[in-house]
Amino acid sequence: MRHLKSFFSFSFPLTIMLFIFAVFLLVNKVVDSYKYSIMSDYSIIVISNTPFSSIDTIADMRIKEIEPINRRNIIDSVKDNLSSSSVELLDKKLPYFYKIYLDNFPTTSKLKQIRQELEKIQNVKKVETFSNDHSQIYSILILLQDIVFLLFVIVLVLSFLLLSKQIKIWFYEHNERITITQLHGGSLFYSSKPIIKTIFFSALFSSTMVIFALFMISNNLAVVVQPEIISILPKVIHLEYEVIQIIVLSFVIPFLTFFGLLIQYKMK
């Protein structure tokens, strides 16, 4: 009964921490997917008095494509209300319009830098970055990531404290046995084998539970998220990298805590 209680004392905070971490990874995947989806639609409009020179980068960001907007379509849309001479004059005076698509979703500060650099190019008349809409979208995405990350950090700290408390309790309860073992030539590490086994199996149990929950959530997203969010997710969600991260974290956190306290106990 005592071993079972010790097992769940380690497993519970570890499972909660890993679950929050898994949610953080999923939110990151959703945000990255959303960034990618809006990147295909987001463009910067440049109006130039002369044909725009081809450029590969702007403000250290790679340009995916520069798409010219057909001037003839603009003229055709208004020519019915103009005389022939006015249409001819418009054709001569009408500036050149371009859409610039970027390889990555820019931050608000980077977008400001892009605008400044584009406006410095000779013959560029106007630059429209739709900064208000962009800033709102980007701020929401970053806020969502920050909230989940902050929650994860809080749970991580609490997990460290709870695991530390359980390990200290174990050392206190087994202090006499550890002392006797050391008197007979056994090392402190050897004396700690029971708790090492408990930590190992707790980490294995917690990671298995969280990975199972992660796959259950990812395969049943319609139950937990709105249809609008599902529409921006990739058709197939690959979780191999996330699973590896969860497994590594499940063992690193408790064993890091244990060895830290082991050194502290040994120094006493």
**CA 240 to chain CA mean position, Å:** 15
Q: In which residue ranges of the chain is CATH 3.30.70 found?
A: 43-129
pLDDT at residue 185 in the model: 65
Encode pLDDT of 208-225 as tens digits: 999 998 888 777 766 666
pLDDT at residue 92 in the model: 74
pTM of the predicted protein model: 0.68
Compute the distance between CA of residue 67 and CA of residue 97 in angstroms, rounded to an integer: 9
Residue type, 234: P
pLDDT at residue 204 in the model: 92
Encode pLDDT of 114-152 as tens digits: 888 888 888 888 888 776 666 676 677 778 778 878 888
> 3-12 in b/e burial notation, b at 16+ Cβ within 10 A?
eeebbebbbe
| Cβ neighbourhood burial of 185 (10 Å; 0-12, 13-18, 19+) | exposed
pLDDT at residue 209 in the model: 92
| From the candidate CATH numbers 3.40.50, 1.10.3470, 1.10.357, 3.30.70, the one assigned to the domain spanning 43-129 | 3.30.70
Rounded average pLDDT per 10-residue block, the chain, 268 residues = 73 86 80 71 82 79 82 72 71 80 80 85 82 68 80 84 83 74 68 83 91 80 60 60 88 86 73
How long, in residues, is the chain?
Answer: 268
pLDDT at residue 233 in the model: 58
